[in-house]
Amino acid sequence: EIVCVAFLLMAVNIEDISKIRKTYYQALTHEKSILALHELGKQHQNSALGKAYYGTAKALQARESSWVPTKISLANEASELLNSAVELDKNSTEVRFLRLSFEAATPAMLNLNSHVNSDVNFLSNKLEKNHPLNYVIKAWVNKTDDITKNQKARIKARLLP
């Protein structure tokens, strides 16, 4: 009984997930939405998905920051949150994609990109063609220069045309 109650408390309901995803889509191109994503992720950081979006918000804040020490600090926080989210749910394609999109774009000198190959391999094998983030993943794969052509092709093979 206690385990069931704890699991239910950790779950994010479908309405919250939809709202978080919508805010994430907006935050990718609108800086004003990053704070909203930050707050939504923070509210749900007891779940792997909420924690991953919280980490992604930190990553987007780092991207937008003009002060290098702040960029580095936020990137480190993002990395910790994203890695912790994967530990909570190693089989979540959404969590693994969020970590991949962060790590692949992170400068190697920060040593925050050690999971790129494992996340590409995971997505290449587990990504479902009907996943709600598929069009975001497809757009990212088409746009990014941060993974190899072979890695791109392997992920694209799992996506809808």
pLDDT digits (tens, 9 = 90+) for 5-48: 334 334 567 788 899 999 999 999 999 999 999 999 999 999 99
Contact 23, 36 (CB under 8 A): yes
Residue 152: exposure state from Cβ atoms within 10 A (0-12, 13-18, ≥19): middle
Q: What integer pLDDT is reported at residue 105 of this predicted model?
A: 95
Contact 12, 44 (CB under 8 A): yes
Q: What integer pLDDT is reported at residue 12 of this predicted model?
A: 64
Q: What integer pLDDT is reported at residue 24 of this predicted model?
A: 96
Q: What integer pLDDT is reported at residue 148 of this predicted model?
A: 96
Q: How far apart are CA 146 and CA 65, in angstroms?
A: 20
Contact 20, 40 (CB under 8 A): yes
Q: What integer pLDDT is reported at residue 68 of this predicted model?
A: 96
Contact 122, 93 (CB under 8 A): yes
Question: Phi, psi at residue 129, to the nearest 5°?
Answer: -65, -20
Which parts of the chain register pLDDT below 50?
A: 1-10
- Virtual CA dihedral for 48, 123, 61, 17, nearest 10 degrees? -40
pTM equals 0.90
Q: What integer pLDDT is reported at residue 3 of this predicted model?
A: 38
Residue 111: which region, alpha, beta or left (left: phi > 0; alpha: psi -120 to 50)? left
